[in-house]
Structure 1
Amino acid sequence: MVAGHLQIKKGYYYAVLSWNNGEKRQTKWIPLGLPEKGNKRKAQVELSKIRSEFIIPVEEGDLSADMLFADYLLEWLEIAKGRLAIATYSSCVGLIKSSIEPYFRKKKLTLRELEARHIQSFYSEKLKVVKPNTVIHYHAIIHSALKYAVKTDMIIQNVADKVDRPKKNDFQPVFLSAEETQKMFEALKGTKLELPVLVAAFYGLRRGEVLGLKWDAIDFERGTISIKRTVTSINLDGKYQEIEKDSAKTKSSLRTLPLVGSFKEYFLQVKEAQELNKKVCGNCYNYQYDGYVFVDEMGERLKANYLTSRFPELLEKKGLRRMRFHDLRHSCASLLLANGVPLKHIQEWLGHSDFSTTANIYAHLDYSSKISSAQAMESGLQLPETGGFTSRWSGETSS
């Protein structure tokens, strides 16, 4: 408990608290709102209560096991900022400030006092209003924050290790057939989304890879298209931002694919149209995004949020099945499988870093391999002739 005494100032009682922060003694004056006359006993009771409930504030950058867990999370965010990718950091900020920090601030638990049951109760409460996947994200953040506290000797164990995470909620992506894909192409003809959708569906590109496509990635002479940049969107402290990176999601995401079919003509038409737009618009043209493939007549780059929201809306408007833009990537993989392309080749086409990622998502679609397996078993294992499975009463009911 901190030290404290009563002080009178301008006829009113104040509780004066004092503590040592390691370097010098700190004091804090707290007005009690009690007039001096006749309130000494009340003031003493109030002082005792304030002293017992007061938590010594932690100065910025001064981490301690006795600081509130809510405060520790905010401090840890600043420490983790330097090593996290901007999109990951943005996600952590959103989840901590909107849910984790407010919940634990109300509980007034210090880092030292935090137990597995407190975290489990938090998950149980949140599962009433959010999906299990969101709680799994909460768990990843809390576990990582506590791991740092263990590493820096503030606490002796990571209590998040003792907590049961919820089971990941199943999500079934939409897989379009070749016929459905053709209908979609027809429906989007002439719209701003036509070419981005064609590219995503044929090459299986992620949204960020589509938006990050630049002219220097398309080699018209060699007939190749290189996936080497991304444009992603984040919401940091309420502000929408787009992040340009001269690198793909992983090393395996960096890939060069053939410029096949009509795509060479598509891109040449777009390039020619952009040059004309520059001449017509003059100084009004936005050269900030010069070099990007997907810009409008004024040079404004296609926004990530526009693809995410407008694509499913347009499909519904055209009477087609609603799906996410990312489902074009899944549909690409399913069409490759349907045409006999091995999973290993699909992994390379999509730019998955690990074969298991491709197998976990798409193996259930590989029906041709199941037929091959059945045929192999049939030829390698002789089954007995049919018989003996009829009803014991067969032959008796005909009379």
Structure 2
Amino acid sequence: MEERRKYANAKAGDDVLFADFMEQWLEIVKSTVSIPTYSSYVNAVKSIIAPYFRKKKILLRDLQAHDIQMFYQEQLQRVKASSVIHYHANIHKALKYAVKNDMIPSNPADKVERPKQDKFYGNFYDRDELNKLFEAVTGTKLELPVLLGAFYGLRRSEIVGLKWSAIDFEQNTITISHTVTSCNLDGKCVIVAKDTTKTKSSRRTLPLVPYFHEKLLAVKAQQERNQKLCGRSYNREFLEYICVDDIGDRFKPNYITSQFPKLLERNGFRKIRFHDLRHSCASLLLASGVPMKHIQEWLGHSDFSTTANIYAHLDYSSKLTSASAMESNFHLGA
């Protein structure tokens, strides 16, 4: 109520610093977005955007496209273009709200040139590296997450969120429909579990191959033994989840991210991120001649262009086909 009163005063002509407006906007938008999204807004606004513009003492009504452009240019000296694009999204959305509520006549962010998105090339392991990695993780807490990440290309959130109800041992399928993510909010780590995936296309059903059929049955049996051994000490809050430790605690997303590089270093492996197992999966599928469209469906990308933009540089087989087609048209060397 207090925040809305501030907006009413602003509309009446009171001077409002752009920095104050951005922080007030956070309260307005809070109930309209997911917790992880709100967390990203808070981190960007309170840590970067508001402090910068507070020093400039620029009023909301006086904000110009040039002011925003200068902010982006300065930020590009310390962060990647993707981060600045994220800042732009926050600023643009907040100013759009200001226009809608007659606080300013137009959105100055509309006139700003966004930085060009950095071209992303995923790092990956080849077949031999992955087979050696599988040997190294055998019997460790990271064994199942690594196997699922490399073979099925699952995201970290999809692995931690995998439930026993997603496994159909009769039809031999594995359905990705639940995720567990983490974010920092007000200085605390917040775990968010939900029956939704990153996009509609991320909700997918994949074949449960014989190896994983047997592996998951063994994991299930071990969890049942752990319940009996630990008795009341076993955490029964997460019985429906697959990735839990010996006392039933569900894996924390950050645990996987932090422990994976340590495992690689201990075993002398080349450094990659855990998410790069997903890229490794895609690269092996391409190398095996799997069409890009099928890879899109396997990974759960929302559209074909996403898959093509990330992995087109790896699709050497298509280039060989093109080369062969061109050769057939000419009498080269004749």
TM-score calculated relative to the size of structure 1: 0.79
Q: Which has the higher helix share?
A: 2
Correspondence list, 1:94-243, <5 A: 94-243=43-192
Q: Specify the SS of the correspondent of 2:60.
A: coil
Q: Would the aligned equivalents of 2:120 and 2:310 in 1 still touch at CA under 8 Å?
A: no
Q: What is the identity, as a one-letter code, of the residue corresponding to 1:62? A: A
CA RMSD of aligned residues (A): 1.6
* 1:377 equivalent among 326, 331, 334: 326
* 1:64 equivalent among 3, 10, 32: 10
Partners of 1:343 and 1:152 in 2: how far apart?
45
The 1:110/1:186 distance shift into structure 2, 3 A limit, reads same
Q: What is the identity, as a one-letter code, of the residue corresponding to 2:8? A: D
Q: Specify the SS of the correspondent of 1:75.
A: helix
Q: Specify the SS of the correspondent of 1:302.
A: coil
Q: What is the identity, as a one-letter code, of the residue corresponding to 2:280? A: S
Q: Would the aligned equivalents of 2:162 and 2:242 in 1 still touch at CA under 8 Å?
A: yes
Partners of 1:225 and 1:319 in 2: how far apart?
32
Bigger mean CA offset, 282-291 vs 227-236: 282-291
The 1:378/1:105 distance shift into structure 2, 3 A limit, reads same
CA shift at 1:329, angstroms?
Answer: 0.7
Partners of 1:335 and 1:162 in 2: how far apart?
43
Unaligned runs of 5+ residues in structure 2 are none
Match of 2:205 in 1: 256
* 1:357 equivalent among 277, 289, 306: 306
Q: Encode CA deviations 1:318-348: one digit per residue, 9 max, x unaligned.
A: 1001111111111101101111110111111
Give the length in aligned residue pairs.
329
Q: Would the aligned equivalents of 1:313 and 1:322 in 2 still touch at CA under 8 Å?
A: no
Q: Encode CA deviations 1:227-250: one digit per residue, 9 max, x unaligned.
A: 000000010111101100111111
The 1:193/1:63 distance shift into structure 2, 3 A limit, reads farther
Q: What is the identity, as a one-letter code, of the residue corresponding to 2:156? A: R
The 1:104/1:276 distance shift into structure 2, 3 A limit, reads same
1:277 aligns with 2:277: no
Partners of 1:125 and 1:335 in 2: how far apart?
40
Q: Encode CA deviations 1:360-383: one digit per residue, 9 max, x unaligned.
A: 11111111111111111221x324
Q: Specify the SS of the correspondent of 1:222.
A: coil
CA shift at 1:291, angstroms?
Answer: 0.9
CA shift at 1:140, angstroms?
Answer: 1.1
Partners of 1:62 and 1:244 in 2: how far apart?
37
CA shift at 1:73, angstroms?
Answer: 0.7
Q: Specify the SS of the correspondent of 2:33.
A: coil
Higher relative contact order (CA 8 A, sep 6+): 2
Unaligned runs of 5+ residues in structure 1 are 1-56, 387-399
Partners of 1:213 and 1:195 in 2: how far apart?
11
CA shift at 1:384, angstroms?
Answer: 5.8
Match of 1:79 in 2: 28
Match of 2:266 in 1: 317
Q: Would the aligned equivalents of 1:58 and 1:67 in 2 still touch at CA under 8 Å?
A: no
Q: What is the identity, as a one-letter code, of the residue corresponding to 2:166? A: A
Q: Specify the SS of the correspondent of 2:62.
A: coil
The 1:385/1:272 distance shift into structure 2, 3 A limit, reads closer
Q: Would the aligned equivalents of 1:316 and 1:322 in 2 still touch at CA under 8 Å?
A: yes
Q: Would the aligned equivalents of 1:226 and 1:257 in 2 still touch at CA under 8 Å?
A: yes
CA shift at 1:125, angstroms?
Answer: 2.1
Q: Specify the SS of the correspondent of 1:324.
A: coil
Correspondence list, 1:264-343, <5 A: 264-343=213-292
Question: Over alpha carbons, which structure has the higher Rg?
Answer: 1
Bigger mean CA offset, 279-288 vs 235-244: 279-288
CA shift at 1:274, angstroms?
Answer: 0.8
Partners of 1:119 and 1:293 in 2: how far apart?
47
Q: Would the aligned equivalents of 1:252 and 1:352 in 2 still touch at CA under 8 Å?
A: yes
